[in-house]
Homo-oligomer: A and B are copies of this chain.
């Protein structure tokens, strides 16, 4: 009947979804409790407070999902093509609602970096990990690219543009502007080839 780990996972999943949709601060524990059909006591048995719950969501849900998304296209034979396909697929396959929610990592970065140090360092670590992932895979095929490129700089540029583009969707409520930016981003990426 009782399964502590299952309860914990349920809390994490529901919390991840709520935080993704509403942000961390605006997500209320009572809402999470209702969706999980558990009591406040249960939640506080598994997590010492809201902040720790947030950290757990970040580390156990967002971070793995984040890497699982970016890694395959980047470790493809041709990371340039991989990235373009990756971005294009988003334009096509993601629903408008998903798009508007944005990237959980970027959302938390905007909301929590200035407020909470614990979130800030976790987010920063994630961003640096992604940057390394991109830069490494670009340098892996550097002989196919233009000479004298700063791969780390390019990696930050790509990610910035991608995250910035989701901001556009949030106000326009449609994919059009997002698509525009992604199209131009793909042009930019392909242009890196010699």
Residues of chain A having any CB pair with chain B under 8 Å: 21, 23, 25-26, 100-102, 106-107, 109-111, 113-115, 120, 123-124, 127, 150, 152-154, 156-157, 159-165, 167-168, 170-173, 177, 180-181, 183-185, 188
Contacts and interface: CB of A to CB of B under 8 A. Distances in A.
A163 B168 CA distance: 10
Which are the 4 A-B pairs with shortest beta-carbon distances? A164-B164, A160-B164, A157-B184, A113-B170
Contacts of A185: 157
Q: Which residue of A115, A160, A163, A184 has the most chain B CB atoms within 10 A of its CB atom?
A: A160
Nearest to A100: B114
Nearest to A191: B191
7 contacts: A120-B170, A120-B173, A153-B180, A156-B165, A157-B184, A157-B188, A164-B165
A177 B161 CA distance: 13
A111 B23 contact: yes
Nearest to A117: B173
A156 B127 contact: no
Contacts of A156: 165, 168, 177, 180-181, 184
Contact of A181 (B25, B109, B160): B160
A30 to B, nearest CB: 17
A164 B164 CA distance: 4
Given A124-B172, A159-B164, 18 more contacts: A101-B114, A107-B110, A110-B110, A110-B167, A114-B170, A120-B173, A127-B168, A127-B172, A150-B180, A152-B180, A153-B184, A154-B184, A156-B165, A156-B184, A157-B185, A160-B161, A160-B181, A161-B164
A79 B51 CA distance: 46
